[in-house]
Amino acid sequence: DIQMTQSPSSLSASVGDRVTITCRASQIISSNLLWHQQRPGEAPNLLIYAASTLRSGVPSRFSGSGSGTDFTLTISSLQAEDVATYYCQHNNSYPRTFGQGTRVEIK
Amino acid sequence: EVQLVESGGGLVQPGGSLRLSCGGSGFTLSSHWMSWVRQAAGKGLEWVANIKPDGSVRNYVDSVKGRFTISRDNAKNSLSLQMSSLRAGDTAVYYCVRGGGHFDLWGQGTLVTVSS
């Protein structure tokens, strides 16, 4: 199975800050990487697919990059509504697996 | 509105069975791979199973193989998960998700609690 490891596990930042979350796959997964946002008490919601393609309707302050084994999710200017847990997930093989999540809070 | 709605969750004893259902609206469910993903309280996400649009291919995570069966009724725009030999470790919110790995639409989830 491919293990997905995110860092940090949690972070606290101020509104307007640039936030970066990293995700590392235990094997090469090309660009078969998605990012999901889960706000407190809600279901997850797809933000980015194919490592860097922003889903329609997602604010442009979100961006993704990387390929192979190392990926990043960046929020260019953190907003209050971005408080959530963010998960990376690979779509390269079975079983599909997720990272453990990164909780983002406002300082 | 494009949405998925799950039902069928509840409290079940260890070793028991439960059937989850998911209905789609606002889109043609029969055109898409569909999946179930679960989340234990305070924990991360775990993909459970998926099924091809015509139902001819099904995949499962190892921990549920032989105990869970994913199925679909395209005429009714619905997806199901039959769960048997349930264990405490199966306790989670179960999400119905559009996609076989490209998870682009999530239901609100239904809670399954396995406890005596």
pLDDT at B17: 98
User: Of A11, A23, A19, A34, nearest to A75 (Cα)?
Assistant: A19
**pLDDT score recorded for residue B84:** 98
Residue A23 confidence (pLDDT): 98
Question: What does the pLDDT read at residue B74?
Answer: 94
B45 and A49 within 8 Å at the Cβ level: the answer is no
The predicted structure's pLDDT at residue B107? 98
Q: From the CB of residue B52, how many other CB atoms can be counted at a distance below 10 Å?
A: 14
**pLDDT mean across residues, chain A:** 98
CA distance B81 to B8: 10
Q: Summarize pLDDT for A53-97 with one digit per residue, the tens.
A: 999 999 999 999 999 999 999 999 999 999 999 999 999 999 999
* CA distance to partner chain A, nearest, from residue B7 (Å): 15
The pairing of strands A102-106 and A10-13 is parallel
C-alpha to C-alpha distances, B70 to A40, A56, A87, B74, nearest whole angstrom: 28, 30, 24, 13
Tell me the chain A residues in contact with residue B95 when contact means C-beta distances shorter than 8 Å: 43-44
Inter-chain touch A98–B109, beta carbons under 8 Å: no
- Which residues of B have a CB under 8 Å from any CB of A? 35, 44-47, 50, 59, 61-62, 95, 101-109
- Contact yes or no for A43 and B106 at CB 8 A: yes
The token pair at A94 is 């079975």
pLDDT tens, chain B, 116 aa long: 999 999 999 999 999 999 999 999 999 999 999 999 999 999 999 999 999 999 999 999 999 999 999 999 999 999 999 999 999 999 999 999 999 999 999 999 999 999 99
Note the pLDDT of residue A47: 98
Decide if B100 contacts B55 (C-beta within 8 A): no
Residues 6+ apart with CB under 8 A from A57: none
CA angle B6, B77, B99 (to 5 degrees): 70
What pLDDT is recorded for position A95? 98
